Amino acid sequence: MVTAEYVIFVTIAGVMLGTFYGLATIGLSFTFGILRILNSGHGSFVMIGAYISYWCFALLGLPPLVSSLLAFAVGFFMGFALYHGLISRVLGGPELISLVLMFAFGIFLQEVAKFSWSASPRGFTWGLGSINIFGYEYPLTRLIGGVVSAVIVLVLYVFLFRTKSGNAIRSVVEDPEGAALCGVNVSRVYALSLAIALGLTVASGALSTLFVSGGIEPYMGDPYTTRAFAIAVLGGLTSPFGSFLAGLLFGIIENLSYMLLSLANVGNPFSMTRFLTFAMILLVLLIRPQGLLKR
Amino acid sequence: MDIRTHRSLIILFLVSLILLFVRVGIPETRQILSILFFYIALSEVFNLFTGLTLYVCFGYVAFVALGMYGGGATIKYLLSASSPPPLAVVLACAFAVAGILALILALAVGWISVRLKGAYFAIATIGLNEGLKNLIEGTGIWGGSSGLVIANDLIQSYNYDTFIFVTSELADYLIFTVYAVTILCIYLVIKSRLGYGLAALREDEEAANVMGVNVVRYKLIVFVISATLAGMLGAGKMIKDVAIYPPQAFAVSYTVEAIVISMLGGLGTVTGPVIGGLIYGVLKYVLTVSFPGLQLLALAPALMAMCVMFPYGIVGWLRRRFKGSKIESLLI
């Protein structure tokens, strides 16, 4: 039986999940908006973050909140290394090359994870209990995950609009050549942007363990890739904050559609939700290729 | 018609026929050559779209998997009748259904996605594989997550010897036929008006569009041809494997392998995938024997290195090396 309270509860849960999805997607649109490179291996960076969170908890007893900072640092470093090692060599070349390069890098991360930590799923529980929303139990960790995601996005906003480096990044988005003429080191901005983008993505992977406590395995990133693409397309692909809002929307849609699919009893709702994600990408690209949230 | 204008194609067919005769004549080469046939065919089919347009579809393996399912389901359905039709009819129907299903999917996905440019196309199609897999698992069609097995149907309807012949001999020749047809298709496309339009598109899509090349239609045509052939290749693979399970059928490694072979040999060339496939097939055979399960770990860095240092592949490099000489004209 579906009551109004239940729908509200599902929506609130969707908002929390949505802020997390927003954070998990921001890195993708950040990279595409600034470097014009589509990170086709996006999900693998989420997976690395989840493993960092797992090992920090299992070995050191650190909760995901702390390990997300470490995850950000790891992603940040990876971004710099990746930019100077590979990306800078293919910038400006055919789009196909950078797409294949990032795809191959994603596969490489998956295989390294599988080689080092085996393919069997792992998980851990950071038991904090749950709170009561309209008579339904909601795990406290998810609430924390949603709020922390929102805070991180706020920090990014302040960085982009209130600091000198942030202004440099925004000027490169507007016009790379013009920015270079005004004395902005465009190559440094590219490296910094990729580092921030991957840092955020890996950090979101660490926070993902607050929502799904199990199922940490090398290929867990693939659904995140599809999802992030759907969200980024909804938000117009090049705008990080558009992606965040689209993520919020997507979290609500996903939760509600899961609820409806379970009620309608058409097949396995878990798989069907994932199929609908793909169908949604095509639909949005068909109707509004510039994104739902852009004018 | 002057036969010399097509001599490069004729040489390629002769080389392929030699491989086929080796396969027929020396039973010991069966295992490695059937791997080779499959991978060369897979990358020729992939190359037909990606090589000619420089658009990459990461969900490509979905068409092969759909062909496997379509072919398998057709065989299962026809053999469930009280008096099964002759083998040739069953196999022909399997190939036809596989091709038609892949064609329909390609039209549906392609109609939307080829309107998009570059990275947007990749976004539209990267979920294709995952989407189809989840649709099959979610709705439970074609056996859902427990897979589709046709081995028993074949053995019961015919006999064990026929079953062995079909799976270990005939399937290879069918895959070889798909490979030959694909080579012919790419060759014809490259030499046609369509091929020149696509060459213009690869150089500069906007300019080609302005000059009157209907880029959307051209992309859609090669996408659909390529997907249909991929579906038929899937039917061949189904007849060879006689079973399909979602995790293996939709494995991303097929897409990676197709990209690796095409790029190693040379994107957009007819000879490239054959050369790349020969090298890769032998390497894979050696690697699977000595390091089982680690092939993707080795493949991914190799692909990254190729992107950065060697984006034109072997054929591209040879063409530059022998520019203007007779060898260049042979490297189609």
Q: Both ends of chain A: CA-CA distance in Å?
A: 40
From B138, B140, B259, residue closest to A100, measured CB to CB: B259
Contacts of B58 in chain A (CB under 8 A): 40, 99, 103
Q: What is the pLDDT of residue B230?
A: 94
Q: How wide is the angle at C-alpha A287 spanned by C-alphas A284 and A288, nearest 5°?
A: 70
Which pLDDT band, with edges at 50, 70 and 90, does A262 fall under? confident
How many percent of chain A have pLDDT more than 70? Answer: 98
Angle between helices B252-265 and B271-290 (to 10 degrees): 130
**Chain B touched by A38 (CB under 8 Å):** yes
pLDDT tens sequence across B60-92: 889 999 999 999 999 888 888 777 788 888 899
**Chain B touched by A272 (CB under 8 Å):** yes
Domain ranges for chain B: 3-330
Average confidence (pLDDT) over B5-13: 79
Nearest CA in chain B to A39: B119
Q: Is B128 close to A111, i.e. CB distance below 8 A? A: no
Contacts of B123 in chain A (CB under 8 A): 38, 229, 232-233, 237, 281, 285
Which one has a higher pLDDT value, B235 or B247?
B235
Which one has a higher pLDDT value, B330 or A259?
A259
The conformation of residue A122, written as its DSSP 8-state character, comes to B
From A266, A274, A289, residue closest to B134, measured CB to CB: A274
Tokens linked to A13: 């849960």
Half-sphere exposure of B45 (CA within 13 A, CB side): 34
Q: What is the pLDDT of residue A196?
A: 94
Contacts of B301 in chain A (CB under 8 A): 104, 108
Residue closest to A16 by CA, chosen among A127, A113, A146, A106: A146
Residue closest to A237 by CA, chosen among A190, A276, A278, A284: A284
Q: Is B113 close to A104, i.e. CB distance below 8 A? A: no
pLDDT for A254 beyond 60: yes
Q: How far is CA A162 from CA A72, A155, A166, A172, in A?
A: 21, 10, 7, 16
pLDDT for A295 beyond 70: no
Q: What is the pLDDT of residue B227?
A: 94
Q: Is A278 close to B138, i.e. CB distance below 8 A? A: no
Q: What is the pLDDT of residue B260?
A: 82
From A86, A98, A223, residue closest to B130, measured CB to CB: A223
Q: Is A100 close to B296, i.e. CB distance below 8 A? A: no
Kind of pairing between the strands at A136-139 and A130-133: antiparallel
Residue ranges in A83-163 assigned as alpha helix (H):
88-90, 95-117, 140-162
**Chain B touched by A108 (CB under 8 Å):** yes
Contacts of B130 in chain A (CB under 8 A): 222-223, 226, 274, 278
d(CA B298, CA B295) in angstroms, rounded, equals: 5
Q: Which of A38, A107, A116 is most worth mutating to test chain B (most B CB atoms within 10 A of its CB)?
A: A107
Q: What is the pLDDT of residue B317?
A: 82
pLDDT for A293 beyond 70: no
pLDDT for A202 beyond 90: yes
Tell me whether residue A234 is in a domain: yes
Q: Is B56 close to A32, i.e. CB distance below 8 A? A: no
Q: Is B256 close to A282, i.e. CB distance below 8 A? A: no
pLDDT tens sequence across B150-177: 888 888 888 888 888 888 888 888 988 9
Q: What is the pLDDT of residue B105?
A: 93
Nearest CA in chain B to A106: B300
- For chain A, how many structural domains are there in total? 1
Which one has a higher pLDDT value, B167 or B233?
B233
Tell me whether residue A24 is in a domain: yes
pLDDT tens sequence across A112-145: 999 999 888 888 888 778 888 787 888 888 888 8
d(CA A234, CA B53) in angstroms, rounded, equals: 26
Mean pLDDT of chain A: 87
Phi–psi pair at B243, nearest 5 degrees: -155, 150
Largest interatomic CA distance in chain B: 64
**Chain B touched by A159 (CB under 8 Å):** no
Q: Which of A86, A91, A108, A260 is most worth mutating to test chain B (most B CB atoms within 10 A of its CB)?
A: A108
Tell me whether residue A128 is in a domain: no
- DSSP sequence for B105-119: HHHHHHHHHTTS-HH
Buried b (16+ CB within 10 A) or exposed e, B93-107: bbbebbbebbbbbbe
From B263, B267, B296, residue closest to A107, measured CB to CB: B296
pLDDT tens sequence across B280-310: 888 777 777 777 777 778 778 888 888 888 8
Tell me whether residue A131 is in a domain: no
Contacts of A286 in chain B (CB under 8 A): 112
The partner residues of B148 in beta bridges, in order of sequence, read B244
Residue ranges in chain B assigned as alpha helix (H):
7-25, 30-53, 61-79, 87-113, 118-126, 128-139, 151-157, 160-165, 171-191, 193-203, 205-210, 215-241, 246-249, 252-265, 271-290, 295-309, 313-321, 326-330
- Identify the residue whose tokens are 């999917």: B105
Output the CATH code of domain B3-330. Answer: 1.10.3470
Contacts of B122 in chain A (CB under 8 A): 38, 40, 99
Q: Is A271 close to B134, i.e. CB distance below 8 A? A: yes
Q: Is A107 close to B127, i.e. CB distance below 8 A? A: no
Tell me whether residue A212 is in a domain: yes
Phi–psi pair at A52, nearest 5 degrees: -60, -45
User: Are the C-beta atoms of residues A271 and B137 closer than 8 Å to each other?
Assistant: yes
Interface of A with B in 275-294 (CB under 8 A): 275, 277-279, 281-282, 285-286, 289
d(CA B80, CA B237) in angstroms, rounded, equals: 21
Tell me whether residue A177 is in a domain: yes
Tell me whether residue A293 is in a domain: no
Range(s) of the domain holding residue A112: 4-117+137-287
Distance from CA of A131 to the nearest CA of B (A): 32
Q: What is the pLDDT of residue A22?
A: 92
pLDDT tens sequence across A14-62: 899 999 999 999 999 989 888 888 888 899 999 999 999 999 999 998 8
Tell me whether residue A92 is in a domain: yes
pLDDT for B1 beyond 60: no
Tokens linked to A244: 């965040």
d(CA A36, CA A95) in angstroms, rounded, equals: 9
Q: What is the pLDDT of residue A118?
A: 87
Interface of A with B in 241-260 (CB under 8 A): none
Contacts of A42 in chain B (CB under 8 A): none
Contacts of B140 in chain A (CB under 8 A): 267-268
Distance from CA of B270 to the nearest CA of A (A): 19
Which pLDDT band, with edges at 50, 70 and 90, does B99 fall under? very high
Q: What is the pLDDT of residue A276?
A: 82
Angle between helices B87-113 and B118-126 (to 10 degrees): 130
- DSSP sequence for B213-238: --HHHHHHHHHHHHHHHHHHHHHHHH
Mean pLDDT of chain B: 85
CATH number at A207 reads 1.10.3470
Does the CA dihedral B164-B170-B176-B179 come out positive or negative? negative
